[in-house]
Amino acid sequence: MVDDGSVTTPLPLAPDDATASCCATPRSALSPERADEVATLLRSVADPTRVRLVAAIAAAPDGEVCICDLTGPFGLTQPTLSHHMRVLIDAGLVAREQRGRWAYFSLTVDARPLLAAALTSALPAAGDGR
Amino acid sequence: MVDDGSVTTPLPLAPDDATASCCATPRSALSPERADEVATLLRSVADPTRVRLVAAIAAAPDGEVCICDLTGPFGLTQPTLSHHMRVLIDAGLVAREQRGRWAYFSLTVDARPLLAAALTSALPAAGDGR
């Protein structure tokens, strides 16, 4: 059995004993603190409205969307929209830039791989081979 | 208000009008149904314990972890562990294979890009330039 190569960098497990037997004790690959951070990040976007908002930003031809473009299509009030954008900004997934009257939103560089993977994720089909 | 267009497969926005002005109306890049699915998928792993479990599986040298290796390091009872693994399996992120006495868990192929991106995600630093 080979290293499947997914996820190398930040996940060192104990290579010495993890393959030794069925019941070698693996060390946790993530500290509890880091796991909390990752879970918080995932929770911030694990909301249908926020998923649609980041998808709209990701799909924008110039990589950014004016807030004036978001209220109508999503049927959101400005306060509700602002709340969702604030959650995404606080999580580091979305950046906001004020230009004149309007605020523009783009995905942060750091967020793009995660959001791209989430938005293109395959979903479990009933009865598939899992 | 326009038909939000429960649009198409991945992320095409309207290239013709989205750049035309500040306030061209973008169509939603994801249908509400697909957004629900993505949000559900993200929620399934947006839990610190489940983040640690998928990280441990991702880091395993042979890409799978025996359930017998997971209870001890994570300080989980077998029922609690089983609950978390069930959530991950139902979401299509983790596959389970029974071999003799033990169940072995691996990440599904479909889940790897998402989990790799999540586990390596950069996290917002206080006061950074977002």
Assign domain A32-119 one CATH number from 1.10.10.10, 3.40.50.12780, 1.10.150.20, 3.90.1200.10. 1.10.10.10
| Mean pLDDT within A35-59 | 93
Where are chain A's structural domains?
32-119
- Judged by average pLDDT, the poorest of A27-31, A35-39, A73-77, B26-30 is B26-30
Q: What sign has the CA pseudo-torsion A6, A9, A12, A17?
A: positive
CA-only gyration radius of chain B, Å? 20
CB within 8 Å: B29 and A59: yes
Chain B 95-114, residues with CB within 8 Å of chain A CB atoms: 95-96, 102, 107-108, 110-114
| Mean pLDDT within A16-33 | 56
DSSP letter assigned to residue A20: T
From first CA to last CA, the distance across chain A in angstroms is 20
Over its length of 130 residues, how does chain B's per-residue pLDDT go in tens digits?
Answer: 444 444 333 333 333 333 434 444 455 578 889 999 999 999 999 999 999 999 999 999 899 999 888 888 888 888 999 999 999 999 999 999 999 999 999 999 888 888 888 888 765 543 343 3
This model of the complex carries an ipTM of 0.73
CB within 8 Å: B13 and A75: no
The whole-number pLDDT of residue A75 equals 85
From first CA to last CA, the distance across chain B in angstroms is 31
Q: Does B35 touch chain A (CB under 8 A)?
A: yes
Tell me the CATH class for B38-119. mainly alpha
| Helix intervals (H) in A61-111 | 71-74, 78-90
Q: Which of A119, A130, A14 is nearest to A58 (CA)?
A: A119
